[in-house]
Amino acid sequence: MSQKFKLAVIQMKISESKVDSVHKAIENVAYMADKGANMVVLPEMFNCPYETYRFPAYAEAEGGDTYQRLSKIAKEKKVYLVAGSVPEVEADRIYNTTYIFGPSGDLIGKHRKMHLFEIDIVNGQYFREAETLTAGKSVTVVDTEFGKIGVAICFDVRFPELARLMAQQGAEMLIYPAAFNMTTGPAHWELLFRSRAIDQQVFTVGCAPARDYESNYISYGNSIIVNPWGEVIGRLNDEEGYLFGEIDLSEVSQIRAQLPLNQSIRDDVYELKTILKED
Ligand SMILES: O=C(O)CCC(=O)C(=O)O
């Protein structure tokens, strides 16, 4: 089984119009697939401005219009699609959800953001996703022909426990659609992606919206790919664009063979386990 593939990370501006944003995302996926990408990643909340009060109006149920279009383009272009995230409604609850489609257009996994973003910086950034969102409860790892991929969303990257659980389930790459801001982005973004990469010895990927000074929540951008040694192998700045990564997941086992952290885990002293497994 080849563990080599081409990964495309799309950094795009999000507009007020859901139709326009979805159209743009689909065009980008098609463009990257035509350039040879096997797997394409979109940013967090790519079909909705990142503002809590907007989530209910933009939300769709699983299988809705955005979902159908994503599935169709994955199938047409025969790519894995880690479809950013979108507001998802189920019953009276709204989730921040990533759908993951395989090259046949089938849904191969779905992650509901597990840690809801909560920040209140003195005279600065404020955001409380819990105003309108409900947190997910499941750890998400999907099987691909190249290996297992863990998927989580933005604030989830701050929690090493979740990264560990994904790695324990075999994930060799952790992909986070994300949208850091101009306060925490410069301070923590790269450090977090490098930290999760070195503590689990995996590839990490952050895919963000491009920066838009007109929007109320200004995304930091800086989409990033980090290898299992903790080196940044691709990084954008603030503008629209894409990253194209030549990934070889066998680097994970090579690094682990030379620096076998897993052998030194003291599971006689501490343990990490899931308690709830289903949303
Ligand atoms: O953790 C942060 O600093 C930013 C998180 C965030 O923007 C999000 O979860 O959407």
Over residues 243-247, mean pLDDT: 97
* pLDDT tens profile 24-69: 999 999 999 999 999 999 999 999 999 999 999 999 999 999 999 9
What's the pTM?
A: 0.97
User: Is 276 a residue whose pLDDT tops 80?
Assistant: no
Three-class DSSP category at 264: helix
Cα separation, 64 vs 82, in Å, equals 17
How far, CA to CA in Å, does 164 sit from each of 12, 67, 199? 29, 29, 8
Per-residue pLDDT, 197: 98
Dist. CA 251 → ligand 1 center (Å):
29
**Residue 102 contacts residue 132 (beta carbons within 8 Å):** no
User: Which atom of ligand 1 lies nearest, measured to the CA of 96?
Assistant: 10
Residues 6+ apart with CB under 8 A from 111: 97, 98, 100, 136, 138, 140, 151, 152, 153
Active site amino acids: 44, 113, 154
CATH of the domain at 68: 3.60.110.10
Cα separation, 55 vs 133, in Å, equals 8
Q: How far is residue 87 CA from its own chain's centroid?
A: 14
Per-residue pLDDT, 1: 73
Output the residue whose Cα is nearest ligand 1's atom 7.
180
| Residue 96 structure tokens | 């921040």
Dist. CA 209 → ligand 1 center (Å):
12
Helix ranges (H only) for the chain are 18-34, 55-58, 65-77, 160-168, 184-200, 250-258
Q: Which residues line ligand 1 (CB under 6 A)?
A: 44, 117, 154-155, 158, 179-181, 184, 188
The residue range of the domain holding 207 is: 4-278
- Counted domains in the chain: 1
Per-residue pLDDT, 279: 72
* pLDDT tens profile 181-238: 999 999 999 999 999 999 999 999 999 999 999 999 999 999 999 999 999 999 999 9
Classify burial at 149, counting beta carbons within 10 Å of its beta carbon; exposed 0-12, middle 13-18, buried 19 or more: buried
Over residues 60-80, mean pLDDT: 98
- Candidate of 98, 117, 157, 191 to mutate for ligand 1, largest count of ligand atoms within 8 Å of Cβ: 117
User: Is 258 a residue whose pLDDT tops 80?
Assistant: yes
Dist. CA 36 → ligand 1 center (Å):
31
* pLDDT tens profile 111-158: 999 999 999 999 889 999 999 999 999 999 999 999 999 999 999 999
The fraction of the chain above a pLDDT of 70, given in percent, is 99
User: Is 163 a residue whose pLDDT tops 70?
Assistant: yes
- Candidate of 127, 189, 218, 222 to mutate for ligand 1, largest count of ligand atoms within 8 Å of Cβ: 127
Cα separation, 77 vs 53, in Å, equals 34
Per-residue pLDDT, 277: 64
Cα separation, 28 vs 201, in Å, equals 30
User: Which atom of ligand 1 lies nearest, measured to the CA of 156?
Assistant: 9
Output the residue whose Cα is nearest ligand 1's atom 5.
155
Over residues 230-255, mean pLDDT: 98
Question: Within 13 Å and on the Cβ side, how many CA atoms surround 183?
Answer: 10
Cα separation, 148 vs 175, in Å, equals 11
